[in-house]
Amino acid sequence: MNYIFLDEIQHVQDYQKAVDSLFVKKNADVYITGSNAYFMSGELATLLSGRFVELKMLPLSFKEYVSAFEEPFSKEELYRNYVYNSSFPYTVGLKTRRNIHAYLDGIYNTVVLNDIVARRKIQDPLMLKSVIKFMFDNIGNLCTVKKIADSMTSAGRKISNHTVENYLEGITDSLLMYRVSRYDIKGREYLRLQDKYYLADIGLRYYLLGLQNADQGRILENIVYLELIRRDYTVYVGKIGTAEVDFVAQDYGGNVEYYQVSWTVRDERTRNRELMPLDTIADHNPKYLLTMDNDPPVLHNGIRQVFVLDWLLNL
């Protein structure tokens, strides 16, 4: 048996025919890697229909990251390093922030310049970078194409809705960010407007924006989203009346779980505000409130409050 690995093969003209010719050989086991969401959705997928298995990869989970360190760090310290220094595997072996920054700079520029600018034939890379900065600064916030265009225009850089839409497709196709749609829990229907966007790696946010406006609650929400899709859930943002549930997670069997994420709920008013949307849901599917409060698990009218780092570690 010959094991053949083809990395970023989409850059080669007519690569689909070459790959198909290898697949018909009985003594060839072919592995193809690509860094684009539509890599296996075009002609290649048609040629190989029924003959391939797609595995989606993500940077390190928090549990995988923790396993790389033998020193007795606290969970909280490891979490701070995880989000600030990046979850890309190679950064675990880099000892200084300067080296990590240089590595992330290479990843960012490769993704932006190669995967987005080149593929989308974008004429104004500076505008694209401005939109990316805006999106990095608004992880976990409801966004519309018009809102983004208006924000760019008010900052002195006029841009059309169509161009913003093209940029967002490039950003999500390159797997730099993930788009999460909204779901009306009571009406059981998908909502078309106001999606949320989450980053593939929070370290890239710190690389690009520094420590400014770093909303730790939104960052934690981003980490929880990535963990849910690692666990093979399909994830939506939940809407129940005028309230919002951070995540509606559905597994392959159709089972549903609800998640609310908050940095801390030790203040009673904050806790009640976070619990209210979950309390409003009439069904009896599991409901979780994940927080950074390192307290024993507690139930609030059937809603399980859990220390989020234990949840991330599967403890």
In order along its 315 residues, the chain shows pLDDT tens digits of: 999 998 877 778 888 788 888 888 889 899 988 777 766 666 666 767 777 888 888 999 999 999 999 888 899 999 999 999 999 999 999 989 999 999 999 999 988 877 889 888 899 999 999 999 999 999 999 999 999 999 998 888 899 999 999 999 999 988 999 999 988 877 666 667 789 999 999 999 999 999 877 899 999 999 999 999 999 999 999 888 888 999 999 999 999 999 999 999 999 999 999 999 999 998 899 999 999 999 999 999 999 999 999 999 998
pLDDT for position 187: 65
pTM of the model: 0.91
The continuous run of DSSP H or E covering 11 comes out as none
- Token pair of 47 as six digits: 């040629």
Per DSSP, what are the bridge partners of residue 14? Answer: none
pLDDT for position 26: 87
pLDDT for position 39: 64
Angle at 171 between CA 135 and CA 130, to 5 degrees: 45
pLDDT for position 305: 97
Question: How do the residues of the chain divide into helix, strand and coil, expressed in percent and rounded to 5?
Answer: 45, 20, 35
How many Cα atoms within 13 Å fall on the side-chain side of residue 113?
Answer: 6
pLDDT for position 191: 67
pLDDT for position 309: 97
pLDDT for position 7: 87
pLDDT for position 71: 80
What distance in Å separates the CA atoms of residue 80 and residue 226, rounded to the nearest whole number?
16
What distance in Å separates the CA atoms of residue 232 and residue 227, rounded to the nearest whole number?
9
pLDDT for position 119: 82
Q: How far is CA 16 from CA 8, 21, 35, in A?
A: 12, 9, 16
pLDDT for position 125: 92
